[in-house]
Structure 1
Amino acid sequence: MKALKYIGMALAFPMMFACQQSDVQQDTDYQSMSDEERLEAARSMAQEFIMVDGHVDLPYRMKVGGFTLQREMLDVSERTDGGNFDYPRAKEGGLDAPFMSIYIPASYQERGGAKAFADSLILMTERIADTWPDKYAMAYSPSDIESNFEKGLISLPMGMENGAPIEDKLENVAYFHERGIRYVTLTHGKDNLIGDSSYDDTKTHGGLSEFGKEVVKEMNRVGIMVDISHVSDDTFYDVMELTSVPVIASHSSARKFTPGFERNMDDDMIKKLAENDGVIMINFGGSFIDGDYQQKTGEVREHIVNWLAENELSRNDPEAQKYISEYSAKHNPFPDVQKVADHIDHVVSLVGINHVGLGSDFDGVGDSLPTGLKDVSMYPNLFAELLKRGYSKEDIEKICSTNVFRVWRAVEDFASKS
């Protein structure tokens, strides 16, 4: 018996030591690290955790770049000139599952063809996975993303930005679920058949239309996440009263920092979203995170235009390019990575760590991206800033994917029982 006791103690000791090591790791004081050490820790976390970004506009970037199903595609398996996304940079930044935005400009609501345009972007996204199967794979669930992550592949889940392709046919909700769409942003730049947009002051429906209410119910039924980015405040509250499952804001930020900008969410909306167990995924665009961004950029632009005129130069002249570069650097109008962290801080202070994620809007907000977050290689800069502010390793994982996976799985579970 004594021998068995000692054997048991011997077996238990390494387990106890492992637990102690785990406790030490959990208690790591990232705030006391140097900036270099903290950034290295952030890079490690970005590689260790599955990272989901709620909104990347690559398909539309490819479409407007002239790439079609019949022509040679932009080679996003290699580092590209311009844009914010490609495979090498995504791997450097630790991005594993960028939601490919199937973006439908509001003009298609007016002239028709929204459904066909959506189908073309879906096919383009699928072609990326088919063309580079050693780098990309389609994903239709958190389980797909987890499986792809184990294989070292970047997942390409899809969200449809603007519900216009549903047209006036409720059956198109199930159609787009079958095509792989896993969230629908109900509106975009203008009111549509579903509801009112934050960018449109017409207030066509005063919130959700009667058809829109049926669309939300049908999305719940088939298993498509409802995305309330871009909707008016009235539409948001109608959705919250109606939905049977949590919802997301795939690429929105906090209105506290951008007063009057309805496209962002105010504090009451963020609290309501959290009561519903939803997630706000923070947009990185300059006008989303800095209320003074437009004014700052306007002042820099005006100065440069006047300087060029006074000196009788064009932007292409070497002297002008040198001056513009130096002046812009000295009077940098861009926010920095700390501004994005401020938005995350604000959400966490309001509703806790379980209701915030990443929704960069890469490839969708032009050159307005903040210093330190110019492309998909730079997420670790944000994580390092959060660690500096006292966020834990577990917090970073929640922001990366745990929170949005919780919502996504709740939507799947409800649909499976409907």
Structure 2
Amino acid sequence: MAFTLAACQSQQASDGKRHDISPESPQMQQARTIAQKYLIADTHIDVPYRLEEAFEDVSAHTEHGDFDYPRAVDGGLNAPFMSIYTPAALEQSGGSKVLADKLIDMVEGMVKNAPDKFALAYSTRELEQNFVRGVMSFPLGMENGSPIEGDLANLKHFYDRGIRYITLTHSKANHISDSSYDSERPAGGLTDFGKTLVKEMNNLGVMVDVSHISDEAFYQVMAVSKAPVIASHSSARHFTPGFERNMDDDMIKALAKNGGVIQINFGSTFISQESIENYNAFKQARTAYMAANDLAQDSPEVEAFQEEYRKKLPFVFATLDDVLDHFDHVVNLSGIDHVGIGSDYDGVGDSLPQGLKDVSTYPNLIAGLLKRGYSEQDIVKILSGNLIRVWKQVEAYAASH
């Protein structure tokens, strides 16, 4: 879900919510040290598709977006998974595989043009070697399995190109799985091909990503997969009742029993019910205005309406503490070994929470965890340890089959 309202302004935390941590606090100073000392992996950064729409050189500071190299270094980010995203519409019109290959070409070009800063990472071993060398890893994840195009040979093709997780679907049902966002559920979960694909992903060493899929599909993945799976960018439905895109408590427990990990999405409408309700009210008002005036969404009149609406009713941003609540909830349900970071930077537009606006802000998250009593060892698991454990288990399963 992308927010394009540049006029949205952050609503300050003056409503009695908990305050941000002082930049000079002991927790923040310790957090900056931890961020630079340990490997930080974020399993969902939507840089490639952002650059496909409007290219910028992310090896230097960029005017737009949530990610560039200088900000990532400031935040301690070492392994941003580059999301190879293809829109759901291409499932019908064609071109998913072509676009996915083009985006992988782009990431390879970024590495080629700045080898002193970036490196590809096809394995946990390469990830850890790159960290020691002091270069930023670009592991690859595929958001939407549409580029597989019903052919297992394409799974091998993308594995060979570096794809190490696949989000089975996106906003619409595809030939692999039903989607949490789609009211149409033609497969009742996974398709027959989808079940075969999950098995082959296990055998090849590609992590199965259950973000975006329907609840029925999730439980079918749990039944089929012999290796731990990930939710690359999802949050806890406990705080957003009825929002199927997030995971409910039973799903989080099942994921943990499988050995997997949920990587928390930072988008305000994944984190805060208040943000969801605010955004839904805005969409309803915009739809009514468009219908009453027979206007398209991209018309100047609708743009003006949006700006005026947001002046009167600003978007409600989640807070850092709201995000931390999701981490706490998962830990309370399933322990420290099953949660990590899947921010969705560059994928949720202007909706990022206060204190977590771009890749320079991971120390804010760490400081919040410290303030809540997490040990340094626990935080290391959240930053990358849990994700690397799952990835290594997936590699080991593939090596034995």
Q: Which residue of 229, 235, 240 maps to 1:253?
A: 235
Instruction: Summarize the Cα distance change of 1:64–1:213 in structure 2 as closer, same or farther, 3 Å threshold.
Output: same
After TM superposition, list the pairs within 5 Å mapping 1:289-368 onto structure 2: 289-297=271-279, 333-368=316-351
Residue aligning to 2:150 = 168
Residue aligning to 1:287 = 269
Residue aligning to 1:9 = none
Residue aligning to 1:43 = 32
Residue identity in the other structure for 1:129? V
Deviations 1:265-304 (A, max 9, x none): 000000000000100000000110011103335678979x
**Structure 2, unaligned runs of 5 or more:** 1-21, 290-300
SS at match of 1:102: strand
Deviations 1:308-344 (A, max 9, x none): xxxxxx9999xxx9x988x78xx66111111110000
Instruction: Summarize the Cα distance change of 1:316–1:366 in structure 2 as closer, same or farther, 3 Å threshold.
Output: closer
Residue aligning to 1:183 = 165
Residue aligning to 1:29 = none
After TM superposition, list the pairs within 5 Å mapping 1:99-110 onto structure 2: 99-110=81-92
Larger helix proportion, structure 1 or 2?
A: 1
* Deviant stretches of 4+, over 2 Å: 294-303, 314-317
The answer to whether the Cα contact below 8 Å between 1:182 and 1:223 also exists between their aligned partners in 2 is yes
Residue aligning to 1:222 = 204
Residue identity in the other structure for 1:343? H
**Equivalent-residue separation in structure 2 for 1:127 and 1:264 (angstroms):** 34
Confirm or deny that 1:265 pairs with 2:233.
no
SS at match of 1:251: strand
Confirm or deny that 1:415 pairs with 2:394.
no
Q: Which residue of 197, 210, 226 maps to 2:192?
A: 210
Alignment length (residue pairs): 365
**Equivalent-residue separation in structure 2 for 1:415 and 1:315 (angstroms):** 51
**Structure 1, unaligned runs of 5 or more:** 1-32, 68-73, 307-313
Deviations 1:212-263 (A, max 9, x none): 1110000001100000000000000000000010000000000001110000
Residue identity in the other structure for 2:60? E
SS at match of 1:250: strand
Q: Which residue of 40, 57, 74 maps to 1:92?
A: 74
Structure label with greater radius of gyration: 1
Confirm or deny that 1:54 pairs with 2:75.
no
After TM superposition, list the pairs within 5 Å mapping 1:59-98 onto structure 2: 59-65=48-54, 67=55, 74-98=56-80
Instruction: Summarize the Cα distance change of 1:247–1:315 in structure 2 as closer, same or farther, 3 Å threshold.
Output: closer
Q: Provide the aligned C-alpha RMSD in A.
A: 2.4
Residue aligning to 2:15 = none
SS at match of 2:77: coil
Please identify, of 93-102 and 292-301, the stretch whose mean Cα deviation from structure 2 is larger.
292-301
- Normalising by structure 2, what TM-score? 0.87
**Equivalent-residue separation in structure 2 for 1:296 and 1:202 (angstroms):** 26
**Equivalent-residue separation in structure 2 for 1:376 and 1:85 (angstroms):** 6
**Equivalent-residue separation in structure 1 for 2:163 and 2:302 (angstroms):** 43
Q: How far is the alpha carbon of 1:145 from its aligned partner?
A: 1.3
**Equivalent-residue separation in structure 2 for 1:211 and 1:75 (angstroms):** 39
**Equivalent-residue separation in structure 2 for 1:368 and 1:392 (angstroms):** 29
Q: Percent identity?
A: 55
Q: How far is the alpha carbon of 1:152 from its aligned partner?
A: 1.2
Residue identity in the other structure for 2:26? E
Residue aligning to 2:11 = none
SS at match of 2:142: strand
The answer to whether the Cα contact below 8 Å between 2:275 and 2:315 also exists between their aligned partners in 1 is no
| Higher-RCO chain (CA-CA 8 Å, sequence separation at least 6) | 2
**Equivalent-residue separation in structure 2 for 1:47 and 1:358 (angstroms):** 16
**Equivalent-residue separation in structure 1 for 2:189 and 2:280 (angstroms):** 33
The answer to whether the Cα contact below 8 Å between 1:300 and 1:333 also exists between their aligned partners in 2 is no
